[in-house]
Structure 1
Amino acid sequence: MAAPSPQNRREVILDATLTVIGTGGVDSVTHRRVAGEAGVALGSIAYHFDSRDEVVRAAFRHFMEGVARSVAFLDDRFVEGGERELLDALVALSERDLERPATTRAEYEMLVYGARDPELAREVNSWQKTLDARLAEGLEALGVVRPLEGARAMRGALRGFELERLIRPGSTGLELRRRLQIVLAGLLAQDEEPIR
C-alpha cells in the first residue's frame, strides 16, 4: 500500500488533531498524541506545522472549511424550499454533526480557543457570518422580516441544543425540530419594527 501524499497526510493530521481536541480539549494536543491518533511518524507533524498552536489553528480552519462545504450542499434545500425543507436541512446538519461527538466538542473548543486568540477569532467570526448569511437567504425566502437577525437566533438555538445534547445524549432530532419550529414561528410572526 502506498503512503499517503503529503497533502493527504496533512488532512489526516488535521482530522486527528480535531479528534484529540474533541476528546481531551486543546490542552491535550501534543505532536506525539496527534501523530499517534493520525498513525503517522512524529516527524510528519513537524514537517507540516512549525508549532502546536499552528496545528491547532490549522485544524480549526480545516473544520470550518468542512462545515462550509456541508452548508453549501444543503443550500438549495432550504433556499428554494419551504419551512419543512429549512427545518429538515438544519436538523440533518445537526444530526450529522452529533454522530461524531468528538468533532462537535472540538467545535465548541474552537469557539473558546478563539476567545483567547484574536487571529482565530477573526476567522471564526467571518465563518459564522458566512453561515448566517446562507441561513438568512432561506429565511428571507420564507418571508422573515429581519432574516440576518433570524439566522443568528436559529444558530443560537442550534448551538444550545448541541451543547445540551453533548451532556444529555438522549435528545433527538425531533426535539430539535420542535424547538426550531418555535423559533421559526416567532420569526415569521415578526413585525417590521423590533420591540424596544
Structure 2
Amino acid sequence: MRPRRTDPGRRDRLIDVTLEVVAEVGVAGVSHRRVAARADVPLGSMTYHFDGMDELLHEAFTRFADRSAERFAEFLGAARDRDEAVAAVVDLVHELSDPRTDGERVVMYELYTLAARDPRYRAITTAWMARSRQELARHFDPQVTRRLDALIEGLSLHRALDDDPFDRALTEDAVRALVGAPGRTA
C-alpha cells in the first residue's frame, strides 16, 4: 500500500492559485480543472476543499482584499504626521498603478465587477473600503478620508490605463489640494 501524501497547505495554495488564474484569464476563465492543474493537485481536491466555484472565488477575493488592506495599512502606518501621510498616499497611488502590479489590478477589477452584481462580493469590497478608510482616518478627518479613498482609486485607475500616465507631481498636487495641505516647495 502506497503511503498517503499529506499536503496541509493545499487549500491555501488553491486559493492563491485561483487569484493567479483570475489575473491571467479573468473570472470567466476560472475552472476547477484549470486551478487544480496549475496547483498540481488532483481535480478531486477542488470539491474536497470547496463546495463549488462560488466558494472558491469568494475565498480568493476575500484573501485578495485582506492582503490589499494590509498593504494600504503598511503604507499609511509608517506615517508619523500629515505630511508623511500625504507622501504615503502618493506612494500608494503610484504603487497601485505600477505596471508590475498589473495582475493585482486585474484581480481588483474582476472583484469590482462581481461586487456590482452580487451582494456577497459587495460585502468584501465594503469591508475593504472600511479598512482603507480606517487607516486614512488616522491622519485625516472623516470627510477628507472618504474623498481621499475615492481619489486613490481614481488616480490609480487613470495612471494604470492611460497611455501617457501623469507623474508624481500631479498626484501630489491632487492629494495636497484635497487634504488642504500646502503645495510642494520645489
Local SS of the residue matching 1:146 = helix
Correspondence 1:185 to 2:186: no
Normalised to the residue count of structure 1, the TM-score between the two structures is 0.75
Tell whether 2:126 aligns with 1:125.
Answer: yes
SS at match of 2:51: coil
Specify whether residues 49 and 79 from structure 1 end up closer, same or farther in structure 2 by C-alpha distance, changes over 3 A only. Answer: farther
- What 5-or-longer segments of structure 2 have no aligned partner? 182-186
**Quick one: which amino acid aligns to residue 156 of structure 1?**
E
The offset of 1:25, in angstroms, is: 1.2
| Cα deviation 1:60-101 (Å, max 9, x = unaligned) | 001011112222222322354625632454146426x74242
Whether the 8 Å contact between 2:14 and 2:35 is mirrored in structure 1 is: yes
Cα separation, 1, equivalents of 2:44 and 2:142: 54
Q: Provide the residue aligned with 2:68 in structure 1.
A: 67
C-alpha separation in 2, matches of 1:66 and 1:188 = 26
Are 1:157 and 1:179, in contact at CA under 8 Å, matched by a contact in 2?
no
Unaligned stretches of 5+ in structure 1?
191-196
SS of residue in 1 equivalent to 2:137: helix
TM-score by length of 2: 0.79
Measured in 1, the distance between the counterparts of 2:72 and 2:149 equals: 15
Structure with the larger helix share: 1
| Aligned partners of 2:69 and 2:132 also within 8 Å | yes
Aligned residues: 176
For 1:90 and 1:146, the matched residues in 2 are separated by 20
Alignment equivalent of 2:152, drawn from 148, 155, 162: 155
Contact residue 133 and residue 151 of structure 1 kept, 8 A: no
Aligned to 1:57: 58
> Residues 87 and 74 (structure 1 numbering): CA distance in 2 closer, same or farther, change over 3 Å?
closer
Q: CA RMSD in A?
A: 2.7
| Percent of paired sites with the same residue | 27
